[in-house]
Amino acid sequence: MTKFDEATQAIRVDETTYDVCLDPGYSIGGPLNGGYLMAVLLRAVVDASPHEHPVTTSAQFLRAPVPGPARVRLERIKAGRTAAMTRATLIQNDTSFIETLVTTATLGDVVPDWTDGPSAAMPPIERCVKLPDPKPESNMTLNAQMEMAFDPPTVAWLDGRPTGRPEARAYFRMAEPQDPDPYVLALAVDALPPVVFSAGARGWAPTVDLTWHLRALPAPGWLTLLGSGRMISDGWFDEEVEVWDSAGRLVAQCRQLARVGRG
């Protein structure tokens, strides 16, 4: 069991309740990463489902939970032959922190009937760059869990040269060797810096709604994360993330609506 598997464990209490322990190692400067929290919720949902894979997850982020014990409360909405639907809520101190609607199903290992190519081209990994290690006092513990290699222009905002459009692209894998699975993908779809940083914005960009679809089970190896956005307006922005696996297959699609930070 990897550290990530351990940090996302959900222990069954009864049919509708799971105990979890939120790990301080997934902090993004105070709040815990939303993708990590989704992975925790999905462990409980899949354990209680007749199906193996979380094919769609819609999450609304209400508040930022703190590391430590928490619960996942499940409500089975529909259990069909092809798909089951569950409402899952992350609860800490009797308060709801994340509300999700999840559809589980079982994906086969098939060749797609039709697929488009990636939405953007990536340079080879040896031409990509790592971000500098965060300062210890920043409490960005998440960075140590993952290895990311960025398409250089999309992180030039770090040197004061944003590209002027919302974008972020990187190769991604877990720091502790682990083949990607749906829970790693839950982390991956929310692992990029907010795409608005590249458009010149700063500050914590709280997600309001994040919906992602698991499209195929990822092959071992690096994942490619392609992040973009269509509009920044009135304090809101959309962030679109496509995840491709090492075999060149689209394995996840994600869109969030988030608030622009007050940098």
Sites of contact with a copy of itself (CB under 8 A): 55-56, 58, 60, 62-63, 77-78, 82-83, 85, 87, 96, 99, 101, 103, 107-108, 110-116, 164-166, 199, 208-209, 211, 213, 215-216, 229-234, 236, 238, 242, 250, 253, 255, 257, 259-260
Report how far residue 169's alpha carbon sits from residue 121's, in angstroms, rounded to the nearest whole number: 9
**Residues 43, 9: contact at Cβ < 8 Å?**
yes
Query: Measured from the CB atom, is 40 or 59 closer to a copy of itself?
Result: 59
Query: Measured from the CB atom, is 179 or 236 closer to a copy of itself?
Result: 236
Query: Measured from the CB atom, is 166 or 194 closer to a copy of itself?
Result: 166
Work out how close the CB of 136 gets to a copy of itself at its nearest, in angstroms, rounded to a whole number: 32
Among residues 256, 251, 260, the alpha carbon closest in space to that of 240 is found at: 256
Would you state the structure tokens that stand for residue 171, as one six-digit string?
Answer: 């190769």
Query: Measured from the CB atom, is 51 or 149 closer to a copy of itself?
Result: 51
Work out how close the CB of 257 gets to a copy of itself at its nearest, in angstroms, rounded to a whole number: 5
Residues in CB range of 184: below 8 A, 6 or more apart: 4, 39, 174, 178, 218, 223
Among residues 90, 6, 75, the alpha carbon closest in space to that of 41 is found at: 90
Work out how close the CB of 255 gets to a copy of itself at its nearest, in angstroms, rounded to a whole number: 6
Report how far residue 178's alpha carbon sits from residue 220's, in angstroms, rounded to the nearest whole number: 8
Work out how close the CB of 34 gets to a copy of itself at its nearest, in angstroms, rounded to a whole number: 15
Query: Measured from the CB atom, is 7 or 226 closer to a copy of itself?
Result: 226
Report how far residue 243's alpha carbon sits from residue 181's, in angstroms, rounded to the nearest whole number: 12
Work out how close the CB of 91 gets to a copy of itself at its nearest, in angstroms, rounded to a whole number: 12
Task: Kindly list the distances between the CA atom of residue 50 and the CA atoms of 41, 53, 72, 108, in Å, as whole numbers in the listed order.
Answer: 16, 10, 18, 15
Query: Measured from the CB atom, is 38 or 149 closer to a copy of itself?
Result: 38
What is the layout of strands, in order, in the sheet containing 53-61?
A: 10-14, 17-22, 68-79, 84-92, 95-105, 53-61, 207-214, 250-259, 236-244, 223-228, 167-174, 146-150
Work out how close the CB of 26 gets to a copy of itself at its nearest, in angstroms, rounded to a whole number: 23
Query: Measured from the CB atom, is 142 or 251 closer to a copy of itself?
Result: 251
Work out how close the CB of 53 gets to a copy of itself at its nearest, in angstroms, rounded to a whole number: 10
CB atoms within 10 A of CB 204: 15
Among residues 47, 30, 28, 50, the alpha carbon closest in space to that of 88 is found at: 47
Q: Which residue has the tokens 């060149």?
A: 248
